[in-house]
Structure 1
Amino acid sequence: MSGRLSKAAVAAFVAIGITPGAAQAVGAERSATVQASAGCRVHVESVTAGGDHAGKTVTVGAAQSEQVYTDIYPDGAVRVSGSTESNPDVTGYGGWIGGYAVLGSTMYATSYYLTLDGDVDRTRPTTYRVGGGWGDTTYFETTRFWDYPKPPNLITQYQLRADGTLSRWEMQYNNGNSPVQWANKQSATGFAAVKTMAMISQTLTYDTFLANTRGGALYTIRVPRTSPMKPIVKKVRTSTWQAFDALVAEKCGRYGTMLVGIDEDSQSAYAYAVGHANGTTTVIQGLGKVPATFADPVYFRGQARQGDAQMLFGE
């Protein structure tokens, strides 16, 4: 990989709603609703039943379909995926897209390169088996913290299991390249009621997720980077959020979040502008139904590569 993003690459990411960290969208004094109407957007990616990698850029009142990369995965194999990161600045290639996904009961680090013509380079697949025992995973996310160019560069993995156990690993790297191990695993129980989550904050001292429950409540789950792991849970809403099977979020303004909730039963999605989260006083403004069909089995967030992606700060 060479350098940071070129002007053309930055423009390309802005066009699909992945704003580099140096560009803050809207001033903190504006409301969440104004921030959203000023151009906030969420890049909602998915894996189709046929194993294709697809995406939609969701803005207020609109959804634009992005290029579909076909046959990335075996048909029906992907159960859960964390967010993917994209790097358009790879010498000799048109780009690189990678992340982590659970196929069956096994976790894989998955990625692929694009040719200079924008097609998938089928000669260079890069899929690495992390390990088995992931069959009961209901949610997974990779948090990538780097306030470029300042250190540190932190990558953390989170898993939610069906029994309500939330686990965290710290990634340790060799020369900043090949992963050595998923280290310092820590866990906390008590999250069996959670249906799904979305990351809304990533800071030097904590990560925060917005989670809905099967009973309809909405919570923030702050996970300090301290050891032992002790999540801090705050109720945001008491009801009406149970329909969403997937939540995808992106930074909106300096302190807010644009949230997309996806209902698999109705194959529909709704967008929200969420103010800086603070328990039940959090401002949430409905932005309406997203004018698109959401029929894929797996949804997740798409973002720019670490160091160019804006750091979420919704709580």
Structure 2
Amino acid sequence: MRTLAKYGGLMAAGVLTTGLLTAVTATAGQGKVKAPCTISVGSVTARGDHRMQTFSATAPVTKVADKIVGKDIFADGQTTLSAAVRYGPGEGSELHTGQTVVGSVLYDFSYRTPVGGGTVSQKVLTRVGPGWQNYRSLDRSSFGSRTTEWSLRNDGTMDRRTVKTDAGGHLYRHYDGWQSNFRGVKGLALISQTATYDTFLMTHSTGRLYTARFPVAGGHIMQSTVKPIRMSTWQVFETLVAAPCGQGSTVLAIDKDTGAGYLYSVGHANGLATVIKGLGKVPGSFTDPAYFSWRKYTDPPPAGE
């Protein structure tokens, strides 16, 4: 990790512009005030609980909250992957929905808690299907009326499934696209959504940091647009979690070998010209089996590219 820490320090001292770490808000009687962006990092613990850690994109990094949202959501020690979990208030409680892999089986799930977390009620696990021991990542993107599910196989193939609703109101997945040649990818996070494409930030075993833009429709063999962002030192990060920050992203990068997390502010992605600031090591350790992004139903889509 010494090389990467040095790299982050060089970035902080050199190519950064002011305002990258902040989102603009307004207060009564004042002009625009810049508040630090935040990221809510989700995880499934070894006991099957849903955890939320929130960090402020300051230097040094500030931990804003650390709580168990719901206990015993899944069986102990069985969860291997999780897509983003969406949540929001409704009917006097808070609804949480998402997708997860338990053992080798994909499930859709939902449950309710009091607002802010607590006793779990109305939990529903819907079995989708087996075979997920062959995958290393899972996420879902929703933009307008379309919903797309993305998963990366262990052999480096990115799969696209369009999520649809049948005449009876039941969800189903239509497997309609794939692209190979992503074998060296280690960690990835969704940083941008539009009506026509989704963009992921990816770390690679060569040390490079990339963006990969995938079409959400079209031919079965997808043609992505891949651009390098940085050329070295990123191979230590097996897990990425991202949250929007204006037209850029706040990114948590996790080194699973050491359990350490590092926070970065990433400007609007533009190849090697992308501005990145290393904010430093994040308080605490990151040793839970699966990590994901918490997203409110009311959050705007990310626009990091």
Question: TM-score when scaled to structure 2?
Answer: 0.84
Quickly say closer, same or farther: Cα 1:159–1:116, change in 2 above 3 A.
closer
Quickly say closer, same or farther: Cα 1:272–1:175, change in 2 above 3 A.
farther
CA distance in 2, matches of 1:184, 1:264: 31
CA distance in 1, matches of 2:117, 2:283: 27
Q: Which amino acid is 1:86 matched to?
A: Y
Q: Which has the higher strand share?
A: 2
- Per-residue deviation at 1:289? 1.1
> Within 5 Å, which residues of 2 pair with 1:29-44?
31-35=19-23, 38-44=35-41
State the partner residue of 1:289: 281
State the partner residue of 1:149: none
- Determine if the alignment matches structure 1 residue 52 to structure 2 residue 45: no
CA shift digits 1:56-114 (9 cap, x unpaired)? 0011211220334211110111001000000212x2x4111110011111110012112
- Determine if the alignment matches structure 1 residue 189 to structure 2 residue 187: no
> Within 5 Å, which residues of 2 pair with 1:2-151?
31-35=19-23, 38-59=35-56, 60=58, 61-63=61-63, 64-89=65-90, 91=91, 93-115=92-114, 118-122=117-121, 124-146=122-144
Q: Which amino acid is 1:62 matched to?
A: T
- Per-residue deviation at 1:185? 2.1
Quickly say closer, same or farther: Cα 1:314–1:116, change in 2 above 3 A.
closer
- Per-residue deviation at 1:225? 2.4
Q: Please, which runs of 5 or more residues in structure 2 have no aligned partner?
A: 1-16, 25-33
Quickly say closer, same or farther: Cα 1:296–1:116, change in 2 above 3 A.
closer
Q: Secondary structure at the match of 2:36?
A: coil
CA distance in 2, matches of 1:256, 1:176: 40
CA distance in 1, matches of 2:180, 2:116: 47
Stretch moving more, 231-240 or 158-167: 231-240
Stretch moving more, 36-45 or 280-289: 36-45
Quickly say closer, same or farther: Cα 1:289–1:314, change in 2 above 3 A.
same
State the partner residue of 1:206: 197
CA distance in 2, matches of 1:174, 1:111: 20
Q: Judge conservation of contact 2:85–2:99 (CA < 8 Å) in 1.
A: yes
> Within 5 Å, which residues of 2 pair with 1:251-270?
251-253=244-246, 255-270=247-262
Quickly say closer, same or farther: Cα 1:217–1:111, change in 2 above 3 A.
same
- Per-residue deviation at 1:117? 9.4
- Determine if the alignment matches structure 1 residue 242 to structure 2 residue 240: no
Q: Secondary structure at the match of 1:66?
A: strand
- Per-residue deviation at 1:177? 5.2
- Per-residue deviation at 1:292? 2.0
- Determine if the alignment matches structure 1 residue 311 to structure 2 residue 301: yes
CA distance in 1, matches of 2:168, 2:41: 28
Q: Judge conservation of contact 1:94–1:118 (CA < 8 Å) in 2.
A: no
Structure 1 vs Structure 2 CA RMSD: 2.0
State the partner residue of 1:13: none
Q: Which amino acid is 1:261 matched to?
A: A
Q: Secondary structure at the match of 2:132?
A: coil
Higher relative contact order (CA 8 A, sep 6+): 1
* Seq. identity, %: 37
> Within 5 Å, which residues of 2 pair with 1:146-225?
146=144, 153-174=145-166, 178-179=170-171, 181-225=172-216
- Per-residue deviation at 1:34? 4.8
Q: Judge conservation of contact 2:44–2:290 (CA < 8 Å) in 1.
A: yes
Aligned length: 274
CA shift digits 1:25-65 (9 cap, x unpaired)? xxxx9642455973201110000111111010011211220
Q: Which amino acid is 1:223 matched to?
A: F
CA shift digits 1:127-156 (9 cap, x unpaired)? 00111111111011001113xxxxxx2111
CA distance in 1, matches of 2:113, 2:234: 38
